[in-house]
A and B are shown apart, each in its own frame.
Chain A
Amino acid sequence: MSRLLTTSHRRLGVLYLYLSLAAVTTGTLLSLLMRIHRVWPDAPLPFYGVLKPEDYLALVTMHGTLMIFFVLTVAPQSGFANLVMPAQIGARQMAFPRLNAAAFWLAVAAFLILIAAFFVPQGAPISGWTSYPPLSAIPAAGPGQGAGMDLWLASIGVFCLSAWLSAVNMLVTILSERCPGMTWSRLPMTVWAWLVTSILTLLVFTVLLAAILLLFSDRHFGSSFFVPVGDLINGRVVGRGDGSPLLWLHLFWFFGHPEVYIAVLPGMGLATSLFANFARRGVRGYRVMAAMLVAIGLLGLVVWGHHMFVSGMNPYAGTAFALTTMAIAVPSTVEVLGWLTLLSRGGLRLQTPMLFALGFLSFFIAGGLTGPILAQPALDAYLHNTFFVVAHFHLVMAMAGVFSIFAGIYYWYPLLTGRLMNEALGKLHFWISVIAAYGTFLPMHLSGLAGEPRHYDRLTGPATSFASIVANERGITFSALLLAGAQLLFLWNLIHSARRGRPAPQNPWQATTLEWAPENQNFRVNCGPYEYEIASGQEKFLPQWEAASKQE
């Protein structure tokens, strides 16, 4: 019990990762059900029977919500930051340990409330993770839109509070708890990333909370913020006033787009650190790289409209959002070029964390390249809501994010257990995952170009005919099954190495950042975070804690 009621940031970080593990397991199983249903729509599921179309939509909704909020937000932002951020800046603990624990338990509550939506009458909501009104505003609009939707709103509302508290705590910690000598230009890039994501979290999650409040009011208190006049549902006019679904889209995507950067920026910071470490080379243009992280975060706040090109928004606004969106390609490209510069001189140590960081880079580029295509209103008019978009964000956000999470787990595992994860299994896990991930998400571009919409539960039938892409879809499903199966290797490695893994030396990766420093030391940092080309004794790298002993 005392292990659960802890306020220690490292313990909380691990608990956050367990929460993510629970969410990612559930979310993956849901996605497998979706994939199987798409290829064999009439095959009955054990203990359930044949999936109805609304069940498919419920799967889509819960898969998206679980993955975005409880995996891609919780693991890199809250999990890893709690695990190593205080150590990386030389602080003994977070600024507000109890607030931190409260934020964690709110996140757990949000998760449980969301899962409960499966078990209420009519089941989980069907309006997608974006919950567009009027579908989400009218309980009668479909199965799951009653109690299930209410639980969804409650869950995300609680999650907003959790994220807000956690971000405040993180910001105060970074600002006021750095050890002597840890100036801004000596922060590891991960800390820069967590700083930016915390600011983004602070600015956008409360907006989502306000939107949820308005939607809840529409559902239960007879207001009409989002329901348009004369809205017809099941033959009944439910529109009460001149509400506007567009308003929800604006509020939601003002949150939703920065959320993407909250998910992927920690991965970018971690990748920078890992590339420098495993290439044994200092980060080129540290200040520029840090500034570009900040720039991506800030630009990310003004691009939300590119999710709404076909929503009936003013076309001039679409042009403006297209411009800001394409502008974000500039700092992203600078980051990528910075990484390539770091890597281009070879001599890489290709251990498992590095492989996964390279996988992150690969997905970030592959998914990022379709970004400027979708950023153009004219092209998006065709591609919107097709599998092309699904492929885009699964590569650039989901796979890149998940691979950076894997990189972090393989990299920091010795900190938690004192043991290394199995290299051979890790590499096998990487290669199967990377091939299966591309096998799953690259062909989706083709389905999308063929016009396959995102939310159709079956490809052929009286209403739709996509018989020509059935083969493509079958391949995707097999690849997805392989991808999920490969994760069993990871789970086994995770459990097995905790007991039987090779004992790790105190600084197994010859890293320079402070989380690998010996315990119980008072630091005075005298050098930057990536001094891999400076000789220090017989070693050719200078850890940030090392110079501390020079002063005495």
Chain B
Amino acid sequence: MPATFTRHPVEIERKDTGIGGKPPLDRRPTGGGGDGDNWENRPSGRRGPRELLTRYRLLVIFALAGDLMFFVALVSAFFVRQSAGHFDARENYISDWHPLAVPPILWLNTAVLLLSSVTAEIARRQLFREIDVMEEWLGLGRPAVKRAAPWLVATLALGALFLAGQWIAWKQLVAAGFTYSSPDPSSHFFYLITGTHGLHLLLGILALAGALIGLFTLRRIELRQIVVDCTAWYWHTMGIFWLFLFGLLVFFQ
């Protein structure tokens, strides 16, 4: 068996002495929480109050980056399909795209969704008020939870209201004769875009319900922060996505 390594204390020459300028290579931050404390000796996930939060935020950001590409693909398909057409026997360029006037209730829905984003943000900030967090940390009660819960419930209610509004919009369109199986590509896109976005919001509502349950059942304040924080960021992103998608449906038909 070859001796693969030795334990001789060999002094490694550092490229950078660390005096002035950048910190030496082995002291630069790595994301692993190597900030000089002994946290790195603790099990992963308990190295400081923000480690888990950062990790879950990254999860949400990356997952939503992928999700963004899903909607980018739908939107580019929208534009390609819009410009598609064919030449008839007399060399006239004919397109089967008929712009769809969106039901006016969508404006109301948009306002509701924006409002829900505001309430979600208020709920999120309650979990990060230092005094309240400190109190919860010390076990002196749960002021942050008490403050955040009603705002989360409000977000949930507004989200449900938005979905109900979308449902009404679909009903109105169906009543006007635009179903998914009608040959009009613009109505396909309307249903596809509002449908996939609605599905995302449905997941968001489930996440909100989960966050509400977690708010009362999770024992560590960090975890309570995480469930609310991640749900809120997801919710905001869906709001922003909707603004773009709504703008597409209204102004770019």
Q: A207-B72, A241-B185 are in contact. Are A539 and B32 (CB under 8 A)?
A: no
Closest CB-CB distance, A169 to chain B, in whole Å? 8
* B10:A181 contact, CB within 8 angstroms: no
Would you list which residues of chain B between 37 and 75 have a CB under 8 Å from chain A?
40-41, 43-44, 51, 54-55, 58-59, 62-63, 65-67, 69-74
B138 at the interface (CB under 8 A from A): no
Expressed in whole angstroms, the Cα–Cα distance for A180 and B42 within the complex equals 13
Q: A171-B58, A176-B55, A510-B4 are in contact. Are A250 and B80 (CB under 8 A)?
A: yes
Contact of A241 among B8, B70, B96, B192 (CB under 8 A): B96
B3 at the interface (CB under 8 A from A): yes
Expressed in whole angstroms, the Cα–Cα distance for A172 and B43 within the complex equals 17
* B55:A95 contact, CB within 8 angstroms: yes
Expressed in whole angstroms, the Cα–Cα distance for A241 and B182 within the complex equals 11
Expressed in whole angstroms, the Cα–Cα distance for A80 and B65 within the complex equals 24
Closest CB-CB distance, B214 to chain A, in whole Å? 16
Contact of A172 among B1, B62, B77 (CB under 8 A): B62
Instruction: Provide the residues of chain A in CB contact with B70, threshold 8 Å.
Output: 206-207, 209-210
Instruction: Provide the residues of chain B in CB contact with A164, threshold 8 Å.
Output: 63, 66
Which of B30, B54, B55, B96 gathers most chain A CB within 10 Å? B30
Binds A, one of B81-89, B142-150, B166-174, B215-223: B81-89
Question: From B2, which residue of chain A is reached at the shortest CB distance?
Answer: A505
Expressed in whole angstroms, the Cα–Cα distance for A60 and B51 within the complex equals 48
A316 at the interface (CB under 8 A from B): no
A247 at the interface (CB under 8 A from B): yes
* A217:B12 contact, CB within 8 angstroms: no
Question: From A246, which residue of chain B is reached at the shortest CB distance?
Answer: B80
B28 at the interface (CB under 8 A from A): yes
B92 at the interface (CB under 8 A from A): no
* A172:B69 contact, CB within 8 angstroms: no
Question: From A221, which residue of chain B is reached at the shortest CB distance?
Answer: B180
A450 at the interface (CB under 8 A from B): no
Q: A225-B185, A506-B4, A546-B5 are in contact. Are A203 and B32 (CB under 8 A)?
A: no
Instruction: Provide the residues of chain A in CB contact with B4, threshold 8 Å.
Output: 505-507, 510, 539
Task: Encode contact with B along A88-102: 1 for CB under 8 Å, 0 otherwise.
Answer: 001111011001000
Question: From B7, which residue of chain A is reached at the shortest CB distance?
Answer: A549
Instruction: Provide the residues of chain A in CB contact with B95, threshold 8 Å.
Output: 242
Instruction: Provide the residues of chain B in CB contact with A204, threshold 8 Å.
Output: 69
* B81:A525 contact, CB within 8 angstroms: no
A135 at the interface (CB under 8 A from B): no
Instruction: Provide the residues of chain B in CB contact with A527, threshold 8 Å.
Output: 12
* B86:A228 contact, CB within 8 angstroms: yes
Expressed in whole angstroms, the Cα–Cα distance for A165 and B12 within the complex equals 40
B20 at the interface (CB under 8 A from A): no
Task: Encode contact with A along B91-107: 1 for CB under 8 Å, 0 otherwise.
Answer: 00011110000000000
* A92:B44 contact, CB within 8 angstroms: yes
* A206:B67 contact, CB within 8 angstroms: yes
Task: Encode contact with B along A526-545: 1 for CB under 8 Å, 0 otherwise.
Answer: 11000000001111001100
Task: Encode contact with A along B113-131: 1 for CB under 8 Å, 0 otherwise.
Answer: 0000000000000000000
* A175:B80 contact, CB within 8 angstroms: no
Count of A residues near B, CB < 8 Å? 74
Q: A225-B77, A539-B4 are in contact. Are A180 and B30 (CB under 8 A)?
A: yes
Question: From B30, which residue of chain A is reached at the shortest CB distance?
Answer: A178
Count of B residues near A, CB < 8 Å? 58
Closest CB-CB distance, B130 to chain A, in whole Å? 24
Expressed in whole angstroms, the Cα–Cα distance for A243 and B51 within the complex equals 49
Question: From B8, which residue of chain A is reached at the shortest CB distance?
Answer: A537
Contact of A95 among B9, B33, B59, B86 (CB under 8 A): B59
Would you list which residues of chain A between 152 and 179 have a CB under 8 Å from chain B?
164-165, 167-169, 171-172, 175-179
Expressed in whole angstroms, the Cα–Cα distance for A539 and B94 within the complex equals 76
Which of B2, B4, B6, B8 gathers most chain A CB within 10 Å? B4
B183 at the interface (CB under 8 A from A): yes
B177 at the interface (CB under 8 A from A): no
B247 at the interface (CB under 8 A from A): no
Expressed in whole angstroms, the Cα–Cα distance for A202 and B9 within the complex equals 44
* A229:B86 contact, CB within 8 angstroms: yes
Q: A171-B58, A537-B8 are in contact. Are A203 and B66 (CB under 8 A)?
A: yes
Expressed in whole angstroms, the Cα–Cα distance for A525 and B5 within the complex equals 15
A402 at the interface (CB under 8 A from B): no
Contact of B32 among A165, A177, A247 (CB under 8 A): A177
* A176:B84 contact, CB within 8 angstroms: no
* B32:A207 contact, CB within 8 angstroms: no
Q: A210-B74, A536-B8 are in contact. Are A176 and B185 (CB under 8 A)?
A: no
Expressed in whole angstroms, the Cα–Cα distance for A178 and B31 within the complex equals 6
B203 at the interface (CB under 8 A from A): no
Expressed in whole angstroms, the Cα–Cα distance for A23 and B118 within the complex equals 49
* B81:A550 contact, CB within 8 angstroms: no
A522 at the interface (CB under 8 A from B): yes
A240 at the interface (CB under 8 A from B): yes
* A203:B5 contact, CB within 8 angstroms: no
Instruction: Provide the residues of chain A in CB contact with B197, threshold 8 Å.
Output: none
Task: Encode contact with B along A171-205: 1 for CB under 8 Å, 0 otherwise.
Answer: 11001111111110110000000000000001111
B188 at the interface (CB under 8 A from A): yes
A-B contact pairs, 25 of them (CB 8 A): A91-B44, A95-B59, A168-B62, A168-B63, A169-B59, A171-B58, A178-B30, A179-B30, A186-B25, A203-B69, A210-B77, A213-B196, A214-B77, A217-B188, A222-B180, A223-B188, A230-B86, A242-B85, A242-B96, A506-B4, A510-B2, A536-B6, A536-B10, A543-B5, A549-B7
**Pairs of residues from A and B, 8 with the lowest C-beta to C-beta distance, nearest first:** A537-B6, A180-B34, A210-B73, A507-B4, A206-B70, A222-B181, A537-B8, A207-B73
Told that A92-B44, A211-B73, A522-B41 touch, could you supply 12 new A-B pairs with CB distance under 8 A?
Answer: A92-B43, A167-B66, A168-B66, A178-B32, A180-B33, A205-B66, A206-B70, A206-B73, A209-B70, A254-B73, A510-B4, A522-B40
Query: Residues of B with Cβ closer than 8 Å to A?
Result: 1-12, 25-26, 28, 30-34, 40-41, 43-44, 51, 54-55, 58-59, 62-63, 65-67, 69-74, 76-77, 80-81, 84-86, 94-97, 180-181, 183, 185, 188, 192, 196
Query: Residues of A with Cβ closer than 8 Å to B?
Result: 90-93, 95-96, 99, 164-165, 167-169, 171-172, 175-183, 185-186, 202-207, 209-211, 213-214, 217, 221-225, 228-230, 240-244, 246-247, 250-251, 254, 505-507, 510, 522, 524-527, 536-539, 542-543, 546-547, 549-550
